[in-house]
Amino acid sequence: MGGPGPTGIGAPRPAGGRRRRPPAWAADGRWIGSPRAADHPLVPGRWRHPVTNAKRAAGRRAADLVEDGMAVGLGTGSTVFFTLERLAERVRDEGLHVRGVPTSIDTETKAREFGIPLATLEEVERLAVTIDGADEIDGDYQMIKGGGGALLREKVVASISDRVVTVVGRDKVVERLGTTFLLPVEVVPFARAVVARAIEAAGGAPNVRLTGPDAPFVTDNGNQILDCKFEGGIADARALAEVLSRQPGAVEHGLFIDLATDVVVGDDAGGAELRSKA
Ligand code: 5RP
């Protein structure tokens, strides 16, 4: 299903006014982006979402969008795991020819185990589609990503993709970014304190992501992550993204602005709904 509903994501801008951010995909009038706070890691030290049936439904449904001969960006995370699983089934059962470009070492390992043919960015200039998870997505298809720490490679791969299909459970659909998830910022270790002060100046509270006492999480690129809390959420995600993009030492941030083109929202009953940006 491609078209926007009257109140759903991608709804037309009302004449003469700024578009009010709609309650996400509430085409039937029902607000579904109402996560229970307890389920969400808005505290330092909890940066992953639990694996749910909704993730499985969304991940697998998105794999069915891949067509024969496509070069495909392979995102990172537990939802994308199910995409890999389904894609591998299609490669095996339908003889589907694909070349996957993984966004992390973890995904590369899993894709190899699944037998999905891989390619590098040296070999592939553009990708027909990238399928990736998200930590939050709002009604304008803007996202927070980086829960798995793969935000840098994920953004590079998204940037060369004709279509970026985001796979999420309903609990990740939010009205305002930063209300259920901390914003990850990947930093060069040398510059960590400098970037942390800049984030504070922008209204955020940064925390170094740790894997143990005094053991910073290290990304595939040898960098660290600051998970940043913005009280009340991020008021202007586009403006904050610009500030962070200009900050020396911050190699990438988890605000994915104007990158997603489609979203597949899974639910715990095993259903999955595809929405596409107008
Ligand atoms: C990794 C990501 C993931 O896509 C995001 O954290 C969602 O992960 P999951 O599907 O496991 O909830 O951005 O950097």
Q: What is the mean pLDDT of residues 176-198?
A: 97
Q: By residue range, what is the domain housing residue 79? A: 46-135+142-170+258-268
Asked whether residue 110 is domain-assigned, the answer is yes
The per-residue pLDDT for range 6-25, each reduced to its tens digit, is 223 333 333 334 433 333 34
> What SS3 class is residue 143?
strand
Asked whether residue 90 is domain-assigned, the answer is yes
Q: Measured in angstroms, how far is the CA atom of residue 118 from the centroid of ligand 1? A: 20
Report in angstroms the alpha-carbon separations of 236 from 19, 102, 139, 141: 14, 30, 14, 14
Which residues have C-beta atoms less than 6 Å from ligand 1?
A: 48-49, 55, 75-79, 132-135, 145-151, 154
Q: What does the alpha-carbon distance between residue 21 and residue 264 come to, in Å, rounded to a whole number? A: 19
Domain containing residue 127: CATH number: 3.40.50.1360
Asked whether residue 196 is domain-assigned, the answer is no
How do strand 205-208 and strand 143-144 relate by DSSP bridges? unpaired
Percentage of the chain lying above the pLDDT 70 cut: 82
Q: What is the mean pLDDT of residues 80-95?
A: 97
Asked whether residue 159 is domain-assigned, the answer is yes
Confidence of residue 44 (pLDDT cuts 50, 70, 90): low
154 part of the active site: yes
State pTM to two decimals.
Answer: 0.85
Q: What does the alpha-carbon distance between residue 31 and residue 13 come to, in Å, rounded to a whole number? A: 19
Picking from 39-48, 61-70, 134-143, 247-256, which range would have the lowest pLDDT averaged per residue?
39-48
Asked whether residue 209 is domain-assigned, the answer is no
Asked whether residue 126 is domain-assigned, the answer is yes
Asked whether residue 182 is domain-assigned, the answer is no
Residue 215 makes CB contacts below 8 A (sequence gap 6+) with none
Domain count, the chain: 1
Asked whether residue 61 is domain-assigned, the answer is yes
Q: Measured in angstroms, how far is the CA atom of residue 75 from the centroid of ligand 1? A: 8
